[in-house]
Amino acid sequence: MKQLLLLSITLTTLTCHVIDIELTEVEQAPQRYYDVYNANLTNHRNAVYMGQISLGTPPQNIRVIFDTGSTILWVPSVKCKSTGVLVNNCKTGSNLFSFRKSTTASNTTYTFEEKYGAGKAKGWVFGDLLAFGAPDTKNLKVRSKVHFGLATEIEYSDDAIFGLPSQDYYNPYGNVHKSIFHQAYYEGLFNNPIFTIHMNRCNSTKCRKSGKITFGDVDRQNCDSFIHWTSVDYRNPGWVFRANGLKINNNVHLFNTAVVSDSGTTNIVLPTALCNNVIGDLKPKKIRDNTYILPCNTTTYFAVAIDQQEFPINTKELLIPLNAEDTKAEGSDMCRLAVSCSSKSDTRPTK
């Protein structure tokens, strides 16, 4: 049993995150007919970044969160039921998928359930045609049907999730891909088994084109020439690697533990003991349980050590604008600190 530290690297530690996927050998290399595909992301309060996919025939537009912490694609179904603090789609009837309106949809009759630290989604596994991008854009179609979860019961958040696991998993009901990115690569859509997520900052509640996901290569527009590669634990479906410590100003917190990069998580989530040390170093104001604020113009040195190298994080990447209620109470010059303490035990098996 070892401590597991959760880093939302794509949002709060690095604004450009490159993923290189290790692939198993196939008997015949697929024919490549597309090298790189880029899609813009919409930024909601520097916390949630959403892109678009097309699903079904005729294509239905679905907004998704590209999530390295999930293994599958799941979308909320028409007539779904959702409960929790971040639910909206099921109630308003927006961003839902109707399999009855798709002539190519097929119900496998298998069920799915995807669980998260907070919340879950459950429903049925469907097969249908998918394209990267909205229906009215120059999108990129996956050649064969993909399998996805059509969620009928959802807790905490009912936004659709596009899972980007570190390896290809196969569904229990047949030899079909569970990872859509792996499926697209094996079908020849991309030249390299790499994707990059760039998340930019936004000074308003919602900014379009304030981020980009690049399938098939490094985002050379937003990433600099230096890329540090580190080994990933392929026994785990998440992007799990080793980190050596944190440095905050002159305070160093050493450890050697597994961390996971999760593009769907807003905060850096730390084990309780380490989190208390970090909170002690930064000295933020606590406004409620596990929620801390600092002046938006705060400057400090914050770095994570990977492979004995320091990777500094710009302080502004750790500060998120407050919602309207908190802004009214605390002032427009205060921001939420994107660091929180784990609500679970400090120890979790790293397999």
Q: Is 326 left (phi over 0), alpha (psi -120 to 50) or beta?
A: alpha
Active site residue 67: yes
* Active-site residue, from 158, 168, 219, 262: 262
- Asked whether the beta carbons of 114 and 74 are under 8 A apart, the reply is yes
Q: Tell me how far apart the alpha carbons of residues 31 and 24 are, in angstroms, rounded to a whole number.
A: 16
Residue given tokens 């990115």 in the structure block: 181
Sign of the torsion angle spanned by Cα atoms 117, 121, 124, 129:
negative
Strands 251-261 and 239-248: antiparallel
- The enclosing H or E element of 211 equals strand 211-215
Q: Tell me how far apart the alpha carbons of residues 6 and 264 are, in angstroms, rounded to a whole number.
A: 11
Of 338, 312, 264, give the one whose Cα is nearest residue 10: 264
Q: Tell me how far apart the alpha carbons of residues 59 and 51 are, in angstroms, rounded to a whole number.
A: 15
Q: Tell me how far apart the alpha carbons of residues 300 and 312 are, in angstroms, rounded to a whole number.
A: 10
* Active-site residue, from 67, 159, 168, 219: 67
Query: Hey, which residues are catalytic here?
Result: 67, 262
